[in-house]
Structure 1
Amino acid sequence: MNQALARLAGLPLGTRVVVRYRIPGGSTDALGELAARDALSCTVATRTGEVVVALADVQLAKEVPPPPPRRDRRII
């Protein structure tokens, strides 16, 4: 088990994470809450929907801080 998988296995569901994983032609990231995890995959709930990532494709993973609060719209 690589460090990224060990890190994912130790995080509780609901933790905000970023997971870098392989796709055809390169890699991409999923940023959001860790929604589910099993022996073969993990699910990250992103702003645009749930992303299911095969654990075999995970390259990096870590916990990230909550997003900054939204700023009020500036009126000129």
Structure 2
Amino acid sequence: MQTPAALLASLPLETRVVVRRRVDTGFTDSLGDLVAIDGTTCTVRTRRGDDVVLLADVTAARPVPPPPPRRAPRRSSR
């Protein structure tokens, strides 16, 4: 079985991923494009900016499909 860090290292950059990592209060996820990876960290470009994640803290990771297209704004029914 492949570790989450090994899975991330095997993916091409710009792959959309979700990465779960351990934090002081439990766990948190980063969802976005994998833009960098080295021996100790990976960087996920989320909607809020780049999230640098320590690979030692990663508990799960997987590629995910692209986001759905944005919906058209609703029109007022007046």
TM-score w.r.t. the length of structure 1 is 0.94
Q: What is the number of equivalent residue pairs in this alignment?
A: 76
Structure 2: gaps spanning 5 or more residues: none
Larger radius of gyration: 2
What does residue range 1-76 of structure 1 map to in structure 2 within 5 Å?
Answer: 3-75=3-75, 76=77
TM-score w.r.t. the length of structure 2 is 0.92
SS of residue paired to 1:14? coil
SS of residue paired to 2:67? coil
SS of residue paired to 1:66? coil
How much does 1:40 deviate?
A: 0.4
The alignment's C-alpha RMSD in Å is 1.3
How much does 1:34 deviate?
A: 0.2
Work out the CA distance in 2 between the residues paired with 1:55 and 1:5: 6
Work out the CA distance in 2 between the residues paired with 1:68 and 1:38: 30
How much does 1:9 deviate?
A: 1.0
Calculate percent identity across the aligned residue pairs. Answer: 57
How much does 1:3 deviate?
A: 2.1
Work out the CA distance in 2 between the residues paired with 1:3 and 1:55: 10
